[in-house]
Amino acid sequence: MEAHVKDTAPLEERIGYTFQNRKYLDIALTHSSYANEMKKNLSSNERQEFLGDAVLSIIVSDYLFHTFHLAEGDLTKLRAAMVCEKSLCEFARQFSLGDYLKLGRGEEMMGGRTRPSILADAFEALLAAIYLDGGIEPARRFVLGFVVDTLEHRDEFAFTDYKTMLQEIIQKNPEERLSYVLVEESGPDHNKSFVVEVHLNSNVIGSGRGGSKKSAEQAAAREALRLMGECP
Amino acid sequence: MEAHVKDTAPLEERIGYTFQNRKYLDIALTHSSYANEMKKNLSSNERQEFLGDAVLSIIVSDYLFHTFHLAEGDLTKLRAAMVCEKSLCEFARQFSLGDYLKLGRGEEMMGGRTRPSILADAFEALLAAIYLDGGIEPARRFVLGFVVDTLEHRDEFAFTDYKTMLQEIIQKNPEERLSYVLVEESGPDHNKSFVVEVHLNSNVIGSGRGGSKKSAEQAAAREALRLMGECP
Best of B56, B58, B68, B136 to mutate (most A CBs within 10 Å, chain A): B58
pLDDT lower than 50: segments of chain A? 1-3, 158, 232
Backbone φ and ψ for B90, nearest 5 degrees, come out as -65, -40
Interfacial B residues in 127-146 facing A (CB < 8 Å): 136
8 Å CB contact of A72 and B47:
yes
- B124: annotated active-site residue: yes
Higher-confidence position of B152 and B60:
B60
Residue B206, amino acid = G
Q: Which regions of chain B does DSSP assign to beta strands (E)?
A: 178-186, 193-200, 203-210
Task: Give how far Cα A87 sits from Cα of A47, A79, A142, B20, Å.
Answer: 21, 11, 14, 38
Confidence of residue B170 (pLDDT cuts 50, 70, 90): confident
Spatial contact of A54 and B62, defined as CB atoms under 8 Å apart = yes
8 Å CB contact of A55 and B58:
yes
Report chain B's mean pLDDT, rounded to a whole number.
Answer: 88
Burial class (CB in 10 A: 0-12, 13-18, 19+), B39: exposed
Higher-confidence position of B125 and B152:
B125
Of A46, A49, A54, the CB nearest to B58: A54
Q: In Å, how far is A200's CA from the nearest CA of chain B? A: 24
Task: Give how far Cα A219 sits from Cα of A34, A225, B121, Å.
Answer: 46, 10, 26
Contacts of B231 (CB under 8 A, 6+ apart): B162, B165, B222, B225
Contacts of A199 (CB under 8 A, 6+ apart): A178, A179, A180, A181, A205
- B53: annotated active-site residue: yes
Q: How do residues A7-27 score in pLDDT, each as one tens digit?
A: 889 999 999 999 999 999 999
Q: Judge whether B49 is annotated as a binding position.
A: yes
End-to-end CA distance of chain B: 59
Spatial contact of B144 and B59, defined as CB atoms under 8 Å apart = yes
Torsion angle, alpha carbons of A82, A85, A88, A93, to 10 = -140
- pLDDT given at position A202: 87
- pLDDT given at position A8: 87
- Nearest residue of chain A to residue B62 (CA atoms): A51
A41 touches chain B (CB under 8 A): no
Q: Judge whether A26 is annotated as a binding position.
A: no
Contacts of A71 in chain B (CB under 8 A): 46-47
pLDDT at B3 over 50: no
- pLDDT given at position B156: 54
Q: How do residues A95-115 score in pLDDT, each as one tens digit?
A: 999 999 999 999 999 999 999
Q: Domains along chain B?
A: 8-156 (1.10.1520.10), 162-228 (3.30.160.20)
